[in-house]
Amino acid sequence: MQRIRAKRVSLTLVLALETKEGTKKMFIYADESGHSGRHIFNEPSYYFQGAIISDIDPEPLLYPLAEKYRQELCVERLHANELKPHIVERIAASFLLLLDKANLVFHLTRIEKPYLAVTKFVDSLFDSYENQAVPWLWYNHELFRHTLCCLFDTILPEQKKREFWGAYLKDDYDGIVSIVKWIIDILDSFELDRRLEEVVRSGLSFALKYPEEITLMASSTRKSYKGHTPNMVAFSSLIYAIHDFCKENNLVPEAFVHDPQSEFGPMMKEYHEMLSKVRAVPNSTGLPAMPENVDYDLGKFSLTPSKHLMSLQAVDLFIWLSQRADRIKSPGLVRSLRDKTDPFYISRSTSEMIVFAWHYKLSNTSLTEEQIREATEMIAEMNRLQKKKLRDFESEKYK
């Protein structure tokens, strides 16, 4: 497969708040590295998106210093990949020091691009709302969903992941069915927990028997695939982070400015409108975040070049540091950036950490005999209802 050069695409989001005391502005500047679009198996294997989210505008703070560095280095802009590492570290350290007093977070999305194929495999075939053989908790609770992701990341070799991804983007049911058959044939070679094996076999068998029940929409229009790419997954996470920052700091967005780029600009406009009035409310239960309507929107969306914005150049440097944290000579610099970082990661190692954290939490939770009895009865009832739902579905199918 042809190697695709990593691009930099900059997002600039500028948001403002009307308060009783006057106008208070909130600013977000974001940039990305490792652009891939649909080509998730091309190098680099990780996609990064970073964003400065602040209730003060960092631009006037950074501009004099950034301009000084730019002139000193005789460059048009401060682009990390075009500068020597020690220069990047020096500039980034001075930027972080300058921004130290701001109410600021650095939102960082890191996506292991090939792992997206695995997450889409689980989302497509083990969606309990479509696959009647999958228990509700196994799709909706992060412990079980990430357990499935880890399992299929282990089972599927890279070639099968590539085959699935290609079939997924084309809504090719036959291609996906062939992969499901292949997994069923080799499943005996893996030692699985009894309940995990039961869920996997029943879920795959249902998908094999009723492929028409599995919804695929990546090719419904020419642009549909874009919503499944690392670029748009990260863009969604950024919008949710903006909503959270608004909520935590009582801010209301005013404007959203994005660097012009052809492939994802129109879809970003759509996402901006679609997610503008809804915030995903996080919780600690492991179940999906609940939507909450908000009384503001994400402001006006517009496209503007990033080369004139020093804050975007700062984000570029911060992303570069995040990618190479284990190689930075100054531990204080790495710590300063991490202290401000709000991470959102999608990868095999992240799934493993989520599974481990839930196992640790559950194993260290003290339950009374009454609580254990009630939980056992509740799970038994959920399983009974799920099996009844499957029987009713099949009865309707074969009327």
Reported confidence tier of residue 40, pLDDT bands at 50, 70, 90 = very high
pLDDT at res. 220: 67
Q: Using CA atoms, how far apart are residues 156 and 158, in angstroms rounded to an integer? A: 6
Residues 6+ apart with CB under 8 A from 391: none
Looking up tokens 């695939």 gives: 225
The topology (CATH level 3) of 8-112+223-349 is Nucleotidyltransferase; domain 5 (3.30.420)
In eight-state DSSP terms, residue 280 is: E
pLDDT at res. 225: 86
* pLDDT above 60 for 17: no
* pLDDT above 90 for 3: no
Q: How distant, in Å, are the alpha carbons of 215, 339, 355 from that of 115? A: 20, 27, 16
pLDDT at res. 129: 92
Q: How distant, in Å, are the alpha carbons of 122, 125, 134 from that of 200? A: 10, 10, 8
* pLDDT above 90 for 56: no
Mean pLDDT over 268-283 rounds to: 89
pLDDT at res. 37: 87
Higher pLDDT, 156 or 26: 156
Query: pLDDT of 340-373, one tens digit each?
Result: 999 999 999 999 999 999 999 999 989 899 988 9
**Dihedrals phi, psi of 255, to nearest 5 degrees:** -145, 155
Reported confidence tier of residue 19, pLDDT bands at 50, 70, 90 = very low
Predicted TM-score (pTM) of the model is: 0.90
* Residue among 67, 63, 76, 80 nearest 8 (CA): 80
Give the DSSP letter string of 99-133: TTTS-EEEEEEEEETTHHHHHHHHHHH--TTT-TT
* pLDDT above 60 for 13: no
* Residue among 198, 47, 21 nearest 111 (CA): 47
Q: Using CA atoms, how far apart are residues 12 and 304, in angstroms rounded to an integer? A: 8
Q: Using CA atoms, how far apart are residues 116 and 299, in angstroms rounded to an integer? A: 30
SS3 of residue 68 by DSSP: helix
Q: Using CA atoms, how far apart are residues 90 and 73, in angstroms rounded to an integer? A: 13
Single-letter amino acid code for the residue at 385: L
pLDDT at res. 394: 87
pLDDT at res. 379: 87
Reported confidence tier of residue 255, pLDDT bands at 50, 70, 90 = low
Q: Using CA atoms, how far apart are residues 288 and 116, in angstroms rounded to an integer? A: 19
Reported confidence tier of residue 26, pLDDT bands at 50, 70, 90 = confident
State the DSSP H helix or E strand holding residue 206, giving kind and residue range, or none if neither. helix 194-209
pLDDT at res. 21: 47
State the DSSP H helix or E strand holding residue 246, giving kind and residue range, or none if neither. helix 230-249
Cβ atoms 264, 226 nearer than 8 A: yes
Cβ atoms 268, 22 nearer than 8 A: no
Q: Taking the C-alpha atoms of 296, 301, 305 and 310 in order, what is their torsion angle to the nearest 10 degrees?
A: 0
Higher pLDDT, 272 or 19: 272
The strand ranges marked E within the chain are 8-19, 22-33, 46-54, 104-112, 255-258, 278-281, 290-293, 300-303, 341-346
Query: pLDDT of 57-96, one tens digit each?
Result: 888 999 999 999 999 999 999 999 999 999 999 999 999 9
- Burial (CB count within 10 angstroms: exposed 0-12, middle 13-18, buried 19+), residue 37: middle
